[in-house]
Amino acid sequence: DVKVTQSSRYLVKRTGEKVFLECVQDMDHENMFWYRQDPGLGLRLIYFSYDVKMKEKGDIPEGYSVSREKKERFSLILESASTNQTSMYLCASIISGGGYNEQFFGPGTRLTVL
Amino acid sequence: AQTVTQSQPEMSVQEAETVTLSCTYDTSESDYYLFWYKQPPSRQMILVIRQEAYKQQNATENRFSVNFQKAAKSFSLKISDSQLGDAAMYFCAYRTIQGAQKLVFGQGTRLTINP
């Protein structure tokens, strides 16, 4: 089974802190994604990566950056956390090559910024 | 840009009954993929069912089936014989055939199953 894991289920940080959210997948997937989930808004794409050291902005990249130094690991970085970044963050991965493939999701990290 | 709309923030159904969740989308593409994902409370998001736009036949997976109306850009999910374990947030999602395999999600529908 594909497994996507995230470093924390719950995280509480203070305004202005630098925050790292880690995601690891164990199925050698090329493509990885970070989404933000908010009530009434669904999931919105923050950043994605289609290869090591490659990244592209999604729909809401402001205030975030990402890092992908190894194929299995994709990190989301909040350079200076703000209260409006309080949210659920979901990581996902998928094999490359298009087609009918499904994205596999991690359990999510619920981040609270005080 | 593509958009996905789920107009029902919440739905409820009696156990063993049938419920239909609505989803509409907007795109100028002729080929694409559509998905329904389920997010149980405090649990991981999982794929329920998927549909290729160029296939006219509606997808089915056991108790789950879709009504895909391409011209109307509608992709509803029908759950038959609802079970308590079906209680979850359900998300409709769109993915383009070409390019990055990112998903565009709807707002979600929270489904409650009444015993």
Would you place residue A33 in the very low, low, confident or very high pLDDT band (cuts 50, 70, 90)? very high
CB contact under 8 A, A31 and B35: no
> Which positions in chain A touch B102 (Cβ < 8 Å)?
33, 45, 48, 58
pLDDT digits (tens, 9 = 90+) for B35-80: 999 999 988 999 999 999 998 899 999 999 999 999 999 999 999 9
Q: Reply yes or no on whether the pLDDT at A32 is more than 80.
A: yes
CB contact under 8 A, B103 and A45: yes
Chain A residue with minimal CA distance to B89?
A42
**How many angstroms separate the CA atoms of B51 and B68, rounded?**
8
The predicted structure's pLDDT at residue B87: 97
> Which positions in chain A touch B41 (Cβ < 8 Å)?
none
Question: Kindly report the CA angle at B58 between B57 and B61, in degrees rounded to 5?
Answer: 125
pLDDT digits (tens, 9 = 90+) for A78-88: 999 999 999 99
Which token pair is A94?
């998928």
The predicted structure's pLDDT at residue B43: 86
Any chain A CB within 8 A of the CB of B89?
A: no
The CA-atom distances, in angstroms, between B25 and each of A25, A51, A60, B21, B33 are 30, 29, 20, 14, 11
Shortest Cα–Cα distance, B32 to chain A (Å): 10
> Which positions in chain A touch B98 (Cβ < 8 Å)?
98
Region label for B81, one of left (φ > 0), alpha (ψ between -120 and 50) or beta (otherwise): left
Work out the number of other CB atoms within 10 angstroms of the CB of residue A102.
Answer: 19
Q: What is the mean pLDDT of chain A?
A: 93
pLDDT digits (tens, 9 = 90+) for A48-94: 999 998 999 999 999 999 999 999 999 999 999 999 999 999 999 99
Would you place residue B15 in the very low, low, confident or very high pLDDT band (cuts 50, 70, 90)? very high
Q: What is the mean pLDDT of chain B?
A: 94
